[in-house]
Amino acid sequence: MSRTAASKLPGVVYQRLRTRFGHAAWWPGQTAFEVCVGAILVQNTAWPNVEKALASLRSARRLSYRGLRDLEPAQIAPLIRSAGSFNVKARRLAAFVAFLGSEYGGRVAAMSADDAGTLRLKLLAVHGIGPETADSIILYAAGLPRFVVDAYTRRVFSRLGLLAGDEPYDQVQRFFTDRLPRDVDLWADFHAQIVKLAKDICRPRPRCDQCPLLDLCDFAQRPLACKT
């Protein structure tokens, strides 16, 4: 593959996925606050387990800033058991809620008044929020431009031969932002498309005959988003 072709591949992949799956621009969640909670709960966890924890919080009327702000981690933990690592994530949720209250008056929408870089620095200073979680919140809850790099993204593009797969987060992020238009909607949709590819085509069982990247997949010699 030529250097020029490789540089255009992220855009090619996006267009293929967009044509196959349609526009997504999504993060599962009914409110921006739910997006933030989901971004923390999904750390190293399968999404169906996160959905159960979100449903548990919702049924307890705790899936809001006001619902969580007065709870101790020990009180949050039983509500999010199904998301795994519940004691750890309860502390992280409590830390985020405290941050949201002190920095933005408990309003997720107020985060959008900051620029993406400033918001990112603030989020990274919160216990339990790393680069991916911060960028998910910035892009999908605040609607500001940060490209989200997750395990699926690394896996797909390393198997296309464009990434080693173990580069530092920010280096992988630059790989994409250098090759795609600076467009919040496109970046949000791109990440959503990668996740849809992983969930609808590659997992739990590969359905490679339905993969819109089948020819590229052949180049990679194995299903693009599968662990094995």
Partner DNA sequence: GGCCAGGACACCA
Partner DNA sequence: TGGTGTCATGGC
Residue 44 makes CB contacts below 8 A (sequence gap 6+) with 84, 85
CB of 69 to DNA, least distance (A): 20
Residue 4 CB contacts under 8 Å (≥ 6 apart), including other chains:
none
Compute CA distances 25 → 18, 20, 216, whole Å. 10, 14, 24
Restricted to residues 89-108, the positions that interact with DNA (CB under 7 A) are 89
CA distance readout (Å), 74 to 34, 77, 121: 20, 5, 28
Q: Which stretch binds DNA (CB under 7 A): 7-15, 62-70, 128-136, 207-215?
A: 128-136
Question: Is residue 148 involved in binding DNA (CB under 7 A)?
Answer: yes
Residue partners of 114: CB distance under 8 A and separation at least 6: 122, 142, 144
Judge whether 79 and 103 are in contact, CB under 8 Å.
Answer: no
Pattern 9-38, DNA, x by CB under 7 A: ------------------xx----------
**Could you say which of 156, 195, 201, 217 contacts DNA (CB under 7 A)?**
195
Piece of the chain touching DNA by CB under 7 A; list 2-10, 105-113, 125-133, 215-223: 125-133
Interacting residue with DNA among 1, 46, 113, 164 (CB under 7 A): 46
Identity at 94, one-letter amino acid code = A
Rounded distance, CA 37 to CA 17, Å? 27
Q: Is 151 in the site for DNA (CB under 7 A)?
A: yes
Task: Using CB under 7 A, pick the residue from 54, 133, 159, 223 that binds DNA.
Answer: 133
What are the residues binding DNA (CB under 7 A)?
Answer: 27-28, 39, 42-49, 52, 81-82, 84-89, 126-134, 136, 148, 150-152, 169, 191, 195, 198-199, 203-204, 227-228
